[in-house]
Structure 1
Amino acid sequence: MEQKTCLVVDDSRVVRKVARKILEELGFACSEAEDGLKAMESCANSMPDAILLDWNMPVMSGIEFLRRLRKMTHGTTPKVVFCTTENDIAHIQEALAAGADEYIMKPFDNDIIQTKFMQVGLL
């Protein structure tokens, strides 16, 4: 079976590193982007199977990226899991309305990511 790909989008290098380690242990090939614009470029180049997406980033926020992603060719393909400190119901509803598949609170760990990725059918 072909290895699944995941794009980790977060302006924190530490968060990207931690998420990448977990995802690679789960068998994903990972790439990283530090803001929504870089993530757009990455997706235009090669659409991933999954996107772990931060909300608050410079240049282009996670929610703005998600809205644009879902309008791209094959942009509905990736499973998008928001990973953020924004945990109020309004943010969660906005994310889901924009096309997010799941929502993870920071700080996250291996179990949380594994559970959410299973729920959306990636594992």
Structure 2
Amino acid sequence: MEQKLLIVDDESHIRMLIEQTLEDLEDEGVELLFAENGEQALELIQKEKPNLVFLDVMMPKMNGMEVCYKVKKELKLSDIYIILLTAKGQEVDRQKGLEMGADRYMTKPFDPDEMLSIAEEVLKR
């Protein structure tokens, strides 16, 4: 079964950075999808049901916390693994993210090796 990974960030250079970090997964049959805001992300998540989502928190139209909440709590898509990406590493933000249903929380700037190993771990489960 083909696996899908969605990268959501309103900054194109960050989407590109994450794509470069994870492009090796494409060789293993993982399809990379992209969204540049929360609304677009939510549409793609409902349509494509990605296995894993790297979701930026601070975005226009709908932020990552809202997207996460809608996916996990309203749409009840609990099998979609969501990792929130944020520049804010405070514990209170982390707590809020986890309360919204996020499976994990990563602080920018992120370590590409860590990101790849987390992606591999999640997609292999």
Same fold (TM over 0.5): yes
In structure 2, the residue corresponding to 1:41 is in which secondary structure? Answer: helix
TM-score (norm 2): 0.87
Aligned to 1:7: 6
Two-structure CA RMSD over aligned residues (Å): 1.6
Indicate yes or no: 2:82 matched with 1:80.
yes
Residue 64 in structure 1 maps to residue 66 in structure 2: yes
- The 4+ residue runs of structure 1 with deviation greater than 4 A are none
Gaps of 5+ in 2: none
Shift of 1:109: 3.1
In 1, Cα distance between equivalents of 2:3 and 2:53: 11
Kept in 2: contact 1:104–1:112 (CA 8 A): no
State the identity %: 28
> Which amino acid counterpart does residue 7 of structure 1 have in structure 2?
L
Match of 2:42 among 26, 35, 40: 40
Question: Which residue pairs with 2:112 in the alignment?
Answer: 110
- SS of the aligned residue for 2:123 comes to coil
What is the match of residue 19 of structure 1? Answer: 18
**Alignment TM-score, normalising by the size of structure 1:** 0.88
Structure number with the bigger relative contact order (C-alpha 8 A, sep ≥ 6) is: 2
Task: Give the number of aligned pairs.
Answer: 120
Distance 1:58 1:6 in 2: 21
What secondary structure sits across from 1:26 in the alignment?
helix
